[in-house]
Amino acid sequence: MESPEDLCFTEEGCSHDIILEKQLFRSKVLESHVQLACSLHYCAFPLNGNELCIWNNGDSPAHHQPLHLVGHHHSITALAFGSKINPLLVCSASYDYVIVWNLDECTKKVLQGLMPRGIVIGTLLGMVLYVRFSPDDQAVAVCAGNRIYMLSAKNEAILAELEGHLAPVTAAEFCTWERNMLISVSEDRSFKVWDYCTGLLIYQSSVLTVFPLLSLFIDEENKQIITGCADGQLWIFSLLSEHHYRCVVHINLNKEQEKFYSKTGKSRQQLDQIQKFSKLHSPSDMRPEETVETTLPVLRIEHCDQSVNLGKEENFLPAVNARCLWIGSSTGLFIINLANFELEAVLHYKDYSGLSIQFAGSCTLMRKAVNGKVFCLLTSMFENMIALLEINLAALMRCQQNDFLLYGKEKRLSVFASCSLLPNSPLCTESFKKESNKPTNKKKLGIKGTLKDQSLVFHSKIKSSGYTAAPQMTMFSPKTILKKNSKLSQCKSSCKRKNKEYPLENSPPTKSETQISVTNKPTSIRCIQYSGDGELLACGLADKSLLVFNSNLTGTPAVFSGHDGAINSVGWSHDKKWLVSASEDRTLRIWSVRSREPALFLGKEMFHKSVRFAQFYYIDTFILLCCGAEFHLLNCYLDMSKDDQKRYKQKSICKSVQKFPMASTVEITSLSAINDFYSYIILTAGSNRALEVFDLNAGCSAAVIPDAHSRSVHQICQNEGSAFSTQPLEAYNLFMTAAIGDGIKLWDLRTLRCERRFQGHINRCHPCGIAISPCGQFIACGSEDKSAYIYEMRTSTFSHKLAGHTESVINVAFNPSSPQLTTATLDGKLQLFLP
């Protein structure tokens, strides 16, 4: 045993003891691949092969002598502490015996000068790789070879024998909320779920990977299991009965590490400086650093206690305070966030040359932090050493998240307009409405005279050609006889009440009520959006047409025709009088909802590429649109009046205020802004996979998030709420992004951090749409398996799967006034769902 060496570093104003090697033990044999154990106050590890060493983590000098327990003849390969504190049990296993020790009794016997003895509960079971106590400490699961033995913790008795794995079982854990349930992983690359009382196999997974599974962890809060393999990959599966053990997410630790360093490039430089500092001050007997190419085998998965106080900065880091896990590997420790499945911190052993162990063969960590410190027990992969490390979690997080903290303090981005407009702001442009109030003659304004509805021939004695007369016959009368749904009409009548608020306690809309085809032949529905009052639904189709339905999808839709290409986007004005549509024909049109005629037409001479997205902005003051690598801010005055002699000439006026290029991208793939209240923030996504935030009050880019997804974002969806619901102010700073093959991510504008990731739906080819419910509790998304999915905002796996569609669901929309969800498919069908 050697004296501890304190490692203290100073980094740009933050001086903290990040890691401390508390104790170093030297063994006579190599203890590289064994199961180690840590409890709240004790650590257990094998020493000299067949000795069990118990170390008390207390700071009292009296506790600096370990407790040695002897009883095995062969090398100890697995250790585990009991679930209860009083009495505290520890189980040790070797090829010859499985022994349970009572630490209180053993300590008393040692103080009396007697030899402590444990209870042998198993004999000659084979090579034991893992042991685990049951939640009540009455039984012990022993993984020996391809079998799992359920042994009594009080005497030598085999309660059950679980057979089924085709290779050695590497880990097993008890499910605390399901009685008699045990989960195991094996080198056969699968996991199994058992009823350990009856010995029955409940579920068997398929082969997950080509590498053996090494570790297992049960997340009791989310009711999930996490398993890791020898190649640095993690899988999370849901244990909820209705989820049928589905995979929630697959994580590649190597890729996440690369993304972490790309996001925190400055932090990586700081770690390099630490390493150089450590080399300069390392003891003379330390060996020079060796460059070894390694993988990241997942040796241990453990809960990370985030109750430590990070100081005033924690208000800017909601993701850091989420539930996290320690991932122990051969080269270092990782902290991974269970909400967004991204790394929060990385600690490599080689970055601290004062540590005696650079490559670990085994690893275990303490579940709870003591005074902000976490103990980690390591065994060396190549040398006969065991090290006890003390990690200052707050210092580690503060050091590696320093860039985010400083950025959050400086920028303070918010979707709300918190200050008045700057004098040189692009939003200070004078409105055309003010110009229209100037005194002008009637002819210039296009105001009609006193004679109304005149024929085109103005002589009183000549009979009119009849162009103004009403039609004498109905040319087209579609079938509109639909079965009236009492539940649907009741829902619509209730939402028409002005004082009726959106129900916050309702379950999500999951029951199919109506399904219609928008055209006679299959036509892709490119975009859908509800009006602000929830009464109308606009749909843009691939056949160049724009349709407006009643929100209950009954009656004949209003047709808006004029585009010569597929409709890319459609948006409502705040006053529900206008529709803006953008098309592949490089045109933009603003339509009057009442007359169904275009009030403004912007043609190909203005846009060099197709307009990907267009919307009203700043409570209908401006129009936002993206074309190519820039987005345009337009100021428009809409006038539907017509000159009798020049009816072809539009009287609406449009002026380009400013163009904003997105940095380092070829094309803007998505754009989003709030129109329901005054906001200066514009969100853009580019083909370079980045997100960029623009502040139009300052008229410049405010922030860039590189590599937001593994592929370019095809939709940004902000949490706008609605006029019928109220959410906390902080919730409006949340927004979602979706990318093909990379799921959905939830972001916080204040920190520009991904707070949660949602996976489970299928999105490999088509850009499937997303939507947030007006109450802010649910997320809907399309999927290519002919279903729509609903996620709850606080969980990463879907809660409902809405089947019954005939093709891929590519667009979804929530009704802002009532709990309704409309889905749109690739073959041109709309489907309405109610709670």
> Whole-angstrom Cα distance, residue 790 to residue 780?
5
Amino acid at 778: F
Q: Which CATH superfamily is domain 522-639+652-767 in?
A: YVTN repeat-like/Quinoprotein amine dehydrogenase (2.130.10.10)
Residue 478 in this model has a pLDDT that exceeds 60: no
**Each residue of 699-735: pLDDT tens digit?**
999 999 988 999 999 999 999 999 999 899 999 999 9
Main-chain phi, psi angles of 100, to 5 degrees: -105, 130
Region 667-681: what's the mean pLDDT? 95
Q: Residue 368: which pLDDT band, with cuts at 50, 70 and 90?
A: confident
Distance from the Cα of residue 420 to its chain's centroid = 34
Please give the full DSSP string across 161-218, using - where no structure is assigned.
Answer: EE---SS-EEEEEE-SSSTTEEEEEETTS-EEEEETTTTEEEEE-----SS-EEEEEE
Residue 410 pLDDT: 56
> Whole-angstrom Cα distance, residue 357 to residue 335?
20
Q: What is the CATH number of domain 19-266+295-307+321-404?
A: 2.130.10.10
> Whole-angstrom Cα distance, residue 582 to residue 627?
10
**Each residue of 299-329: pLDDT tens digit?**
999 999 876 555 444 443 444 457 899 999 9
> Whole-angstrom Cα distance, residue 813 to residue 361?
52
> Whole-angstrom Cα distance, residue 757 to residue 10?
34
Q: Residue 401: which pLDDT band, with cuts at 50, 70 and 90?
A: low
3-state secondary structure of 758: strand
Q: Residue 59: which pLDDT band, with cuts at 50, 70 and 90?
A: low
Residue 357 pLDDT: 94
Main-chain phi, psi angles of 267, to 5 degrees: -65, -35
Residue 431 pLDDT: 55
**Each residue of 501-537: pLDDT tens digit?**
888 788 899 999 999 999 999 999 999 999 999 999 9
**Each residue of 587-616: pLDDT tens digit?**
999 999 999 999 999 988 889 999 999 999
Residue 648 pLDDT: 65
Residue 174 in this model has a pLDDT that exceeds 90: yes
Q: Residue 739: which pLDDT band, with cuts at 50, 70 and 90?
A: very high
Region 682-695: what's the mean pLDDT? 96
Q: Residue 453: which pLDDT band, with cuts at 50, 70 and 90?
A: very low
> Whole-angstrom Cα distance, residue 344 to residue 323?
11
Q: Which residue has the tokens 């409902």?
A: 800
Residue 10 pLDDT: 35
Residues of the chain with CATH 2.130.10.10: 19-266+295-307+321-404, 522-639+652-767
Dihedral angle, C-alpha 292, 298, 302, 303, nearest 10 °: 90
ω into 87 cis (within 30 of 0): yes
> Whole-angstrom Cα distance, residue 802 to residue 787?
5
3-state secondary structure of 314: helix
Residue 640 pLDDT: 84
Element (H, E) at 405: helix 402-411
> Whole-angstrom Cα distance, residue 192 to residue 173?
11
**Each residue of 790-814: pLDDT tens digit?**
999 988 889 999 999 999 999 999 9
Q: 10 Å Cβ neighbour count for 286?
A: 13
DSSP secondary structure code for residue 559 in this structure: E
> Whole-angstrom Cα distance, residue 636 to residue 623?
7
Note the maximum CA span of the chain: 131
Residue 650 pLDDT: 72
Dihedral angle, C-alpha 366, 370, 376, 377, nearest 10 °: -80
Region 91-114: what's the mean pLDDT? 94
Q: Residue 446: which pLDDT band, with cuts at 50, 70 and 90?
A: very low
3-state secondary structure of 550: strand
Angle, CA 98 vertex, CA 113 and CA 104 arms, to 5°: 35
ω into 135 cis (within 30 of 0): no
Residue 411 pLDDT: 63
Q: What is the 3-state secondary structure (H, E, C) of 598-636?
A: EEEEECCCCCCCCEEEEEEECCCCEEEEEECCEEEEEEE
Q: What is the mean pLDDT of the chain?
A: 84
Does residue 49 contact residue 317 with C-beta atoms inside 8 Å?
Answer: no
Region 249-265: what's the mean pLDDT? 87
Does residue 349 contact residue 4 with C-beta atoms inside 8 Å?
Answer: no
Region 380-399: what's the mean pLDDT? 90
Q: Which two tokens stand for residue 79?
A: 């250790």
Residue 406 in this model has a pLDDT that exceeds 70: no
Q: 10 Å Cβ neighbour count for 240?
A: 14
